[in-house]
Amino acid sequence: MPKFINGGVLKLMLAMGILVGIVGLIYFAHNKADEELKEFSKQQAKEKTLDAVTVDNYELKQIGDDNVIHWKLIAKTGTMDPSTKDVALVDVNVNYYKEGKVSMHLDAPVGKANELTRIIVLKSQGDKKVMVGGDEKQATLETKELELTKNNQFKATGGVNIMWPGVAKVTGSDAHGSFKKGNLDKLVICGNTHALIDI
């Protein structure tokens, strides 16, 4: 070994070489990760730009484990956003079934449904309200917005009018409850509540 290179200098040069090698590997890995991230971002952007799909006579339904239909939604058109599975609905009808027959009917000019969660939001448009009704003996509900969630639960907002034939007409700001056996169940009306009782 030459005189100018002693054991300490050799160890220093070896340590520096290892350090440069590690820094080089980190730099290479970082650049490779950036390339992969850019490629992934391009792929995500391409998938997000998928066009919305519009379907005439759109249908969505819930069928129980016993193979019995619980409810069925039909809209004149449904436009689905592929990334969120939200469907914008026009001219919407929802039927709830009891023993194979329609027990309650909902109508709305527009709405939104999610194909994954099955949550449906029906909305009024102009002077056309969201309407809920059954046969002539059952209560009818009129509101600006109606959200339908799991287990036949609903929440009505934006002003609610409920009429029970031969009993009363009740108005309020909001209402929630459920649709059970073709009628309103566990109904709670909130805010600015007024009732006209038929005697």
Distance CA(120)–CA(148), nearest Å, equals 5
More confident residue, 86 or 44: 86
3-state secondary structure of 154: strand
The predicted-structure confidence for 145-174, as pLDDT tens digits, reads as follows 999 887 778 898 998 988 888 888 888 899
Mean per-residue pLDDT over the chain, rounded: 85
Specify the pLDDT at position 2. 57
Sole residue written with tokens 């999610």: 114
Distance CA(100)–CA(80), nearest Å, equals 29
The predicted-structure confidence for 32-77, as pLDDT tens digits, reads as follows 988 998 888 887 776 665 678 888 999 998 888 888 888 899 999 9
DSSP track, 71-89: EEEEEEEEEE-TTT-EEEE
